[in-house]
Structure 1
Amino acid sequence: MTPDAMAERPIEDLAPEWIGLKMEVEDEHGVTVGFRLGRYEKSTTDGRPVWRLFSDQPSWSVTVYGGTKLRWVPQPPALGSQTVPYQHQSVPAAHPGPQVPQYPAAPPPGPVARSAQSWVTPPHQ
């Protein structure tokens, strides 16, 4: 991916509308990680703003500090949709609910009537 094709914003601009975006960030050790944002927490440690970003699947997190840049590939707006600064992508459920068995609309066919001949195997010729 070319850097020109990516949008970059400071972590301070992070907003709930960004949840679901595929993005990448450089952590405090200089390692670049990519993920789909599932949720985030903002706090302060020793007077320094700290963000903890959680991926949607599998569950893991990365901690970053003020001044960190978030990068993502902007998605073109869908035809007929409103233009928004951050295109929201659908996010699959982190833990799908219990699976409900799907039964056919009609019950299975009942037993087939058998004749005395249906039990007899014809002789080989």
Structure 2
Amino acid sequence: MTPDAMAERPIEDLAPDWIGLTVEVEDEHGVTVGFRLGRYEKSTVDGRPVWRLFSEQPSWSVTVYGGTKVRWMPASAPVSQTVPYPHQQPVPAAHPAPQAPQYPAPPPSAPVARSAQSWVTPPRP
């Protein structure tokens, strides 16, 4: 994402209305990861605030600490074709919708006459 088209807030501002946004964060090793936020958990480890952010699909998580900056594409920003994961793209369904059965069912195909030779694979030359 281009820096001028992104919003940036501290992880401490994380709120439920951020769920569904495509975000970028740097993990504790300095690796930048981008994903659509599915849910999050906030806890404290050794007196230090910790957030575990979960992606929507496929499900995985990243752990970040207080002071981490979260970046995302604001809804009012123009969408660039070079952006790999703009917030405006629809989320694909987790499972395809069930197909309604079509009645009447098609009749089975006519049986094919078989001989002993029809089951043998011809030898290679």
- TM-score bracket, normalised by the shorter chain, equals 0.5 to 0.7
Runs of 4+ in 1 over 6 A off after TM superposition: 87-90
Offset at residue 2 of structure 1 (A): 1.8
Shift of 1:59: 1.1
Secondary structure of the 1:41 match is strand
Partner of 1:102: 100
| C-alpha deviation, 1:13, in angstroms | 0.4
Structure 1 counterpart of 2:63, which letter? T
- State the 1:35 CA deviation: 0.3
Identity %: 74
Contact 1:7 1:72 in 2 (8 A): yes
Tell me the matched-pair count: 98
Letter in 2 for 1:96: H
1:3 and 2:3 equivalent? yes
Q: Which has the larger radius of gyration?
A: 1
1:64-79 to structure 2, matched below 5 A, reads 64-76=64-76
Q: Which amino acid in 1 is paired with 2:98?
A: V
8 Å Cα contact 1:17/1:88 also seen in 2 = no
Instruction: Quickly say closer, same or farther: Cα 1:38–1:60, change in 2 above 3 A.
Output: same
CA distance in 1, matches of 2:106, 2:41: 56
Deviation at 1:108, TM superposition (A): 6.0
Answer whether contact 1:48 1:66 (CA < 8 A) is retained.
yes
**TM-score (normalizing by structure 2):** 0.67
Root mean square deviation of aligned Cα? 2.7
What is the CA–CA distance in structure 2 between the aligned matches of 1:88 and 1:15, rounded to whole Å? 19
Structure 1: gaps of 5 or more residues: 78-86, 111-125
